[in-house]
């Protein structure tokens, strides 16, 4: 391996990374020595080098002081200095490339080697390169070096210091005075110690890295450090010095028979004084192993030396920082040789400012040439952190400390509290980032150790510690304004100008530039981490930590930005409140329900129309729409006496829609003036606002939506809102909850005086349901309420619709008012299974028994025996239950009270509350029985079963029930006949096509479209309500089929069907049929005959339903329920209902399929499935408990949902609906109970059939064995 020049503290070696070495800059050494001398004089020797045993000798400062220069001369000098530094960097770069090239040309085996030494004290100093040859005696080589040094010693130009502007002071060595020569020689003598200053082009670690990377022989290194003439013989004969990779190895002649003579390699740096000689470098194959072993050992030692050097460099860097801080604190008020603008004296010298720099060089930089994108980004994180911490040091050590000193010395002209307010917690930020930088530097020093190529853990560790930044950001704008305000103070202004000019020497920045750094730093972290993530493979150990750090830093940056926005908003807010004339009331009126009130924006509008007052605001008067985070305020409406409800609209509760021409015409507004207008609705206000242009309107809408706290998927035009509002009318009070279209809707609490209404509300029916407390109600009670026309809240509870519990004695007295007594003897039957029962019975005395047959014609079993108080025949009150499900007999002489069911229906018609409680109790009773049957399985058959003939009859019935379906053609004909009957169409109609679709409306009703030869029919089923539409083709005036579905107009009424399946085939069938029907109309019944038919049908239906209309759901009832229903879509695996969930809802599957599952100790089991049109959730609604099983969608599933609170709100305005609705629930549960009983019987029969077949097989096998025997 070829050697590279080593840069020692006084050698001219090539530095690493293009940085200037300490030794090549004698003026910097003089500056450091001078600073240390001054500091020692002021502090009486406080500072000492803790890392060395001896203190550095005192060095006299040069007496040469340059004359003062003009402004033009200073600028010219600065340009020349920059040019010189640029050339120096270029030269260093070229030297580095040359050294790299030499290293590459070297041979590891030592066949071709050279020994080169470059000596350079400055960029202008000539270099001498000496190469030893076997023909030149060592004495002559030493003499050549000595002569070369003497020839240049007197004529060379040396640097003895720097002038007041940082320029080098150069003189020829022969022209130096005795004192200057003594100072120069003393500084460059062996053993002198000094601490070099740090600046942008000089790094304390540059020398250490340069020397660590050098492969020179230690003996040569010692010679280089002492700058003594080189003696090749002394270097070769030094037995105590280890041999380096660059030292020529001389093999004894006995082992050199097969050796190859080395070639001569000359390194010429351009100087004329180059001596070239060959060295006897001979290596055999036998010595190669030993040579490689030596190389490995030397590399290990080299690593140890690198580590030691870095430790010393860290100590030096720390001392430099302390030195900079001490110098900044003890800098004299002026420097006699340096003045700034208009002759003002500088407060700090450049050398002192440079000592505050954080630019430690880490081990990672040694491999900078081979860096990839990730390594460069990692290094950028550290270097930008160094620059940032330097800025924090300047803010704290320079500006903050000097302003505090100025405040103490100003005699009260500068308030110390003002200074602390301006700088806030900047010192806390400095401490945080100093520690973060320390961790980063340590990690990059160990970057190439195993498992240490990561920084995500460090960033993740420190990201949560960035909370003080939000406090700094909260006072950032206030601090900037305070700085501008303080400039009117002459003492402050003078101090600031001096500090800005002094600090500007370093990077050309002033106080405000440094002050904004903390605000910019957190977003910079986020950008750096995101860039680093892009260049980090997902499998890398640092990837997850970087992701976490990005989230944490992003959160901290968002908090900082939010605090800054809040601070800026506060400034605008108080500027508005300072207007007085009622604007000062905005601080407290209206009340702030969403935290602090923050200003968002102000807009000058062309006009505003107040709908409530029917008043137009326009003209020359300034019209301002002021937007806050919680309210919108129209400035002309603000006054000292106006109530807050008159001049504001809450942002959380408002709706904003673009004004249409139709709306403008309704309010008789100028369409041109309001061409770019928006309508804003609030609980008690409605404004039409005209903006100057559409761009301003859109920007305002965007900012409005950002503070409205909308639910996902909603915008400013629609949807549910949530918030608190105090009404202008005291009779309404304060409402906190959900809203819809500026009225109470959903869950919420209204407080009117001392009365609290806590429950659910509906904006359409202007009613509510829930708990009421306070006022005239001494205890909490469940009631309904509604708003009167004058906005008064009225409690509705005259029917006792929400009384919990069973039927009371008072209720039974009402029910049995028209009852008569009946006496039954023992074993007398008064209710017979399978026959219709027309009375309701209640046992007064004695006992009865209930018997039931599980098979037709089979024996009856006693189910239960009951005593007085038992109600019998209650299921007969359900209109759909035409036959009794069991026999009821007197077990002993009994006395009954019986009432006709028809009389009972009349009683229910006049008392909705009694009807609701009766059917609710019945529905709950049926739900309990159904739950017990769900958990019950068919009993296993025994040998003592009924006769074979009975079993055969049961089995035959079961086989008939489960027999295969008919052929497809027969099925289609049967279905067609059923459809013709359902839609009351003539038998001549033919079914053309049927397609599933949805009827567009508030609730998308899922159903089926049937196209016949002369009619189009639609049917749907929503919560038991069957919807049927029939359109005669020739009556359809408009028909269109496209991607949106089917749109038709019939009898001036429009209908739209969407999501039509097989749309292409449907279109191909329907359009030609409609065109043909228009061209060739058929003879259809006249309207008169239709009306007669409908009238006859209605009369018959009324006659049949007259007796039971009080307990049967009417079409109007279904329309009310469906009006409040919602449609939800679920994906496969979604929970529609989760076991254990409390809910008051009723569900119906519109499309799709769902599974019923239940958790058991052995895991989740499948109980069954729910198909389309299946109803569920009613049992939990009745019992107000938790769901006992989970309903899970097995695929795309559409479900209708009715909220329980909405049903109860309907009862407020429609009390009679309550009994009919619970009768409907009881009917559903009774039907399910009957179906479950049949299912159990079927399972029981199947089990018996299997047992009988098994018994026959065993019997046949036994007979076969007997015959064989």
Of 482-491, 888-897, 928-937, 1055-1064, give the lowest mean pLDDT range: 928-937
The pLDDT of residue 937 is 60
Residue 121 φ then ψ, to 5°:
-100, -25
Cα separation of the two ends of the chain? 106
Q: Identify the pLDDT of residue 1200.
A: 92
- Which pLDDT score, from 0 to 100, does residue 533 have? 92
List 130's β-bridge partners, or say none.
275
* pLDDT > 90: percent of the chain: 20
When pLDDT is averaged across residues 568-595 and rounded to a whole number, the result is 79
Enumerate the β-bridge partners of residue 638. Answer: none
How many residues belong to the chain?
A: 1269
pLDDT of 998 higher than 60: yes
Q: What is d(CA 1113, CA 919) in angstroms, rounded to the nearest whole number?
A: 13
For residue 204, how many other CB atoms are within 10 A of its CB?
Answer: 24
Q: Which residue has the tokens 């860097």?
A: 317
Higher per-residue pLDDT: 1129 or 32: 1129
Return the pLDDT at 951: 41
Q: Is the peptide bond before 971 cis (omega within 30 degrees of 0)?
A: no
Report for 72-81, 786-795, 955-964: range of highest mean pLDDT: 786-795
What does the DSSP 8-state code read for residue 396? I
Chain segment 753-797, per-residue pLDDT in tens: 889 999 999 988 889 989 998 877 778 888 899 988 888 888 888
* Residue 812: predicted pLDDT: 85
Q: Which of 200-214, 315-329, 595-609 has the highest mean pLDDT?
A: 595-609
- Residue-wise pLDDT for 1108-1126, tens only, equals 566 788 888 888 888 888 8
222 has pLDDT over 60: no
Query: Do residues 354 and 393 make contact, with C-beta atoms less than 8 angstroms apart?
Result: no
| Closest C-alpha to 1127, from 1100, 1105, 1152, 1157 | 1152
Confidence (pLDDT) at 69: 62
CB atoms < 10 A from the CB of 771, how many? 15
Provide φ and ψ at 164, rounded to 5°: -65, -15
pLDDT confidence of residue 8: 36
Relative orientation angle of helices 1115-1123 and 1216-1268, to the nearest 10 degrees:
90
Q: Which residue has the higher pLDDT, 306 or 605?
A: 605
DSSP result, 845-891: ES-EEEEEESSTT--EEEEEEE-TT-EESGGGGSTT--SBSSEEEES
pTM of the predicted model as reported, rounded to 2 decimal places: 0.57
Q: What angle do CA 1023, 740, 636 make, to 5 degrees?
A: 165
- Residues 285-306: tens digit of each pLDDT: 556 667 777 777 777 777 677 6
Burial of 687 (0-12, 13-18, 19+ CB in 10 A): buried
pLDDT band at 316 (very low <50, low <70, confident <90, very high): low
Closest CA to 148 of 264, 219, 228, 247: 228
Which pair of tokens denotes residue 1196? 């795309």
Q: Looking at per-residue confidence, does 305 or 726 come out higher?
A: 726
How confident is the model over 97-106, as a mean pLDDT?
Answer: 68
Task: For the beta carbon of residue 1043, count every other beta carbon within 10 angstroms.
Answer: 7
**Residue 137 or 1219, more confident:** 1219
Is the pLDDT reported for residue 26 higher than 60?
Answer: no
Contact 1175, 1181 (CB under 8 A): no
Q: What are the tens digits of pLDDT across the range 640-699?
A: 888 888 999 999 999 999 999 999 999 999 999 999 999 999 999 999 999 999 999 999
What is the rounded average pLDDT of the residues 42-67? 42
Q: Is the pLDDT of residue 242 over 60?
A: no
Give residue 617's pLDDT.
Answer: 93
Average pLDDT over residues 1146-1156: 91
Percent of the chain with pLDDT over 70: 70
pLDDT single digits (tens) 1017-1045 = 999 888 877 788 899 998 898 999 988 88
* Alpha carbons 888 and 863: distance in angstroms, whole number: 10
Backbone angles phi, psi at 295, to 5 degrees: -60, -45
CA dist 578 and 586 (Å) reads 10
* Pairwise pLDDT comparison (777 vs 1153), residue with the higher score: 1153
* HSE value, Cβ hemisphere, 13 Å, CA-based, for 507: 16
Q: How far apart are CA 509 and CA 503, in angstroms?
A: 7
Which is higher by pLDDT, 868 or 249? 868
pLDDT mean across residues, the chain? 75
**Residue range 81-110: mean pLDDT, rounded:** 71
Q: Which residues are paired to 1048 by β-bridges?
A: 1039, 1055
Mean pLDDT within 988-992: 88
Q: Give me the torsion for CA of 247, 253, 256, 257, rounded to 10°.
A: 170
In the prediction, which pLDDT does 348 show?
64
Q: Tell me, what's the pLDDT at 457?
A: 93
Cα 103 from Cα 1117, distance rounded (Å): 97
């Amino acid at each position: 391996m070829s050697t590279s020049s080593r840069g020692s503290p006084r050698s001219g070696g090539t530095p690493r990374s293009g940085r200037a070495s300490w030794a090549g800059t004698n003026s910097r050494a003089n500056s450091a020595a001078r600073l240390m001398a001054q500091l020692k004089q002021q502090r009486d020797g406080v500072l000492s080098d803790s890392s060395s045993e001896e203190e550095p000798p005192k060095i006299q400062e040069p007496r040469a002081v340059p004359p003062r220069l003009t402004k033009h001369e200073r600028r010219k000098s600065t340009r020349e200095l920059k040019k010189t530094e640029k050339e120096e960097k270029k030269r260093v770069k070229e030297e580095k490339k040359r050294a790299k090239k030499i290293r590459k040309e070297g041979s590891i085996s030592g066949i071709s080697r050279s020994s080169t030494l470059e000596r350079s004290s400055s960029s202008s100093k000539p270099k001498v390169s000496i190469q030893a040859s076997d023909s030149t005696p060592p004495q002559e080589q030493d003499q050549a070096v000595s002569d070369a040094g003497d020839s240049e010693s007197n004529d060379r130009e040396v640097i003895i210091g720097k002038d007041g502007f940082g320029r080098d002071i150069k003189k020829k060595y022969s022209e130096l005075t005795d004192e200057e020569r003594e100072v120069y020689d003393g500084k460059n003598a062996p053993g002198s110690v000094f601490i070099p200053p740090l600046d942008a082009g000089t790094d304390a670690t540059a020398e250490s890295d340069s020397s660590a990377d050098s492969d020179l022989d230690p003996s040569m290194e010692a010679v280089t450090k002492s700058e003594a003439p080189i003696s090749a013989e002394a270097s070769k004969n030094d037995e105590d010095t280890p041999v380096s990779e660059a030292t020529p190895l001389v093999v004894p002649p006995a082992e050199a028979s097969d050796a190859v003579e080395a070639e001569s390699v000359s390194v010429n740096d351009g100087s004329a004084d180059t001596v070239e000689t060959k060295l006897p470098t001979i290596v055999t194959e036998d010595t190669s192993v030993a040579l490689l072993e030596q190389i490995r050992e030397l590399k290990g030692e080299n690593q140890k030396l690198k580590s030691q050097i870095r430790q010393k460099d860290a100590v030096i860097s720390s001392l430099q920082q302390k030195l900079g801080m001490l110098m900044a604190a003890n800098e004299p008020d002026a420097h006699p040789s340096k003045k700034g603008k208009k002759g003002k004296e500088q407060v700090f010298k450049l050398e002192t400012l440079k000592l505050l720099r954080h630019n430690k060089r880490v081990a990672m930089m040694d491999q900078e040439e081979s860096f990839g994108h990730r390594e460069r980004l990692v290094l950028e994180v550290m270097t930008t952190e160094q620059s940032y911490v330097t800025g924090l040091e300047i803010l704290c050590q320079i500006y903050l400390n000097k302003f505090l000193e100025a405040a103490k010395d100003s005699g009260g002209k500068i308030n110390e509290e003002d200074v602390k307010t301006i700088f806030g917690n900047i010192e806390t930020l400095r401490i945080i980032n100093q520690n973060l930088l320390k961790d980063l530097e340590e990690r990059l020093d160990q970057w190439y150790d195993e498992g240490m190529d990561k920084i995500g853990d460090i960033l993740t560790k420190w990201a949560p510690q960035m909370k003080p930044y939000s406090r700094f950001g909260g006072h950032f704008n206030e601090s900037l304004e305070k700085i501008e305000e303080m400039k009117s103070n002459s003492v402050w202004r003078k101090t600031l100008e001096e500090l800005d000019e002094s600090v500007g020497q370093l990077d050309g920045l002033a106080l405000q530039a440094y002050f904004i750094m903390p605000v910019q730093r957190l977003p910079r972290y986020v950008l750096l981490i995101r860039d680093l993530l892009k260049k980090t493979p997902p499998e890398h150990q640092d990837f997850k930590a970087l992701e976490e750090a990005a989230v944490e830093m992003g959160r901290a940056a968002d908090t900082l930005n939010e605090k800054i926005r809040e601070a800026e908003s506060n400034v605008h807010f108080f500027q508005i409140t300072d207007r007085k004339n009622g604007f000062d009331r905005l601080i407290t009126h209206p009340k702030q329900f969403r935290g602090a009130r923050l200003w968002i924006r102000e807009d000058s509008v062309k006009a505003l129309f107040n709908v409530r007052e029917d008043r137009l605001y326009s003209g020359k008067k300034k019209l301002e729409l002021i937007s806050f985070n919680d309210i919108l305020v129209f400035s002309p409406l603000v006054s000292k006496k106006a109530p807050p409800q008159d001049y504001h609209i809450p942002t959380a509760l408002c709706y904003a829609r673009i004004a249409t021409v139709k709306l403008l015409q309704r309010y008789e507004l100028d369409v041109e003036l309001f061409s770019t207008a928006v309508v804003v609705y609030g609980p008690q206000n409605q404004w039409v606002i005209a903006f100057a242009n559409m761009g301003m309107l859109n920007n305002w809408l965007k900012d409005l939506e950002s503070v409205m706290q909308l639910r996902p998927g909603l915008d400013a035009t629609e949807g549910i809102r949530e918030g608190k509002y105090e009404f202008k009318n005291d009779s309404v009070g304060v409402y906190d909850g959900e809203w819809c279209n500026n009225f109470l809707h959903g869950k919420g609490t209204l407080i009117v005086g001392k009365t609290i209404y806590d429950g659910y509300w509906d904006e359409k029916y202007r009613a509510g349901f829930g708990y009421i407390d306070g006022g005239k109600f001494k205890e909490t009670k469940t009631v309904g309420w509604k708003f009167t026309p004058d906005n008064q809240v009225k409690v509705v509870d005259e029917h006792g619709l929400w009384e919990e519990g069973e039927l009371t004695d008072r209720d039974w007295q009402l029910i049995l008012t028209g009852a008569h007594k009946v006496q039954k003897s023992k074993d007398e039957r008064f209710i017979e299974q399978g026959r219709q029962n027309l009375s309701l019975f209640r046992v007064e005395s004695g006992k009865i028994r209930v018997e039931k047959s599980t098979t037709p014609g089979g024996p009856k079993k006693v189910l239960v025996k009951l005593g007085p108080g038992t109600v019998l025949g209650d299921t007969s009150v359900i209109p759909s239950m035409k036959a009794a499900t069991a026999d009821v007999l007197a077990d002993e002489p009994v006395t009954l009270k019986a009432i006709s069911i028809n009389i009972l229906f009349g009683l229910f018609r006049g008392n909705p509350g009694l009807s609701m409680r009766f059917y609710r109790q019945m529905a709950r009773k049926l739900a309990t029985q159904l739950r017990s049957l769900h958990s019950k399985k068919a009993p296993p058959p025994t040998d003592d079963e009924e006769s074979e003939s009975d079993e055969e009859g049961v089995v035959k019935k079961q086989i008939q029930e489960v027999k295969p379906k008919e052929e497809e053609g027969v099925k289609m004909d049967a279905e067609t006949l059923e459809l013709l009957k359902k839609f009351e169409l003539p038998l001549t109609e033919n079914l053309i096509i049927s397609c599933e679709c949805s009827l567009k409306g508030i609730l998308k009703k899922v159903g089926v479209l049937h196209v016949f030869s002369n009619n189009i029919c639609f049917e749907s089923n929503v919560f038991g309500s069957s919807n049927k539409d029939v359109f005669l083709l020739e009556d359809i005036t408009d028909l269109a089929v496209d991607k949106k579905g089917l749109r038709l107009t019939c009898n001036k009424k429009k209908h739209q069907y969407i999501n039509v399946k097989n749309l292409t085939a449907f279109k191909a069938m329907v359009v030609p049929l409609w065109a043909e029907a228009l061209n060739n109309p058929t003879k259809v019944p006249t309207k008169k005959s239709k009306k007669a038919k409908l009238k006859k049908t209605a009369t018959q239906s009324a006659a049949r339903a007259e007796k039971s209309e009080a307990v049967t759901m009417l079409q109007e009832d279904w329309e009310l329920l469906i009006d409040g229903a919602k449609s939800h879509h679920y994906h496969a695996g979604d929970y529609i209902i989760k076991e254990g969930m409390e809910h008051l809802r009723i569900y119906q599957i519109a499309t799709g399929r769902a599974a019923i599952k239940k958790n058991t100790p052995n895991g989740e089991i499948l109980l069954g499935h729910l198909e389309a049109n299946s109803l569920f959730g009613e049992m939990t609604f009745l019992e107000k408990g938790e769901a006992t099983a989970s309903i899970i969608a097995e695929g795309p599933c559409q479900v209708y949902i009715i909220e329980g609170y909405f049903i109860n709100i309907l009862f407020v305005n429609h009390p009679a609906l309550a009994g009919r609705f619970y009768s409907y629930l009881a009917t559903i549960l009774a039907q399910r109970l009957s179906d479950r009983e049949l299912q159990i019987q079927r399972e029981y029969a199947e089990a018996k059939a299997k047992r009988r077949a098994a018994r026959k097989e065993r019997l046949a096998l036994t007979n076969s064995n007997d015959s064989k025997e």
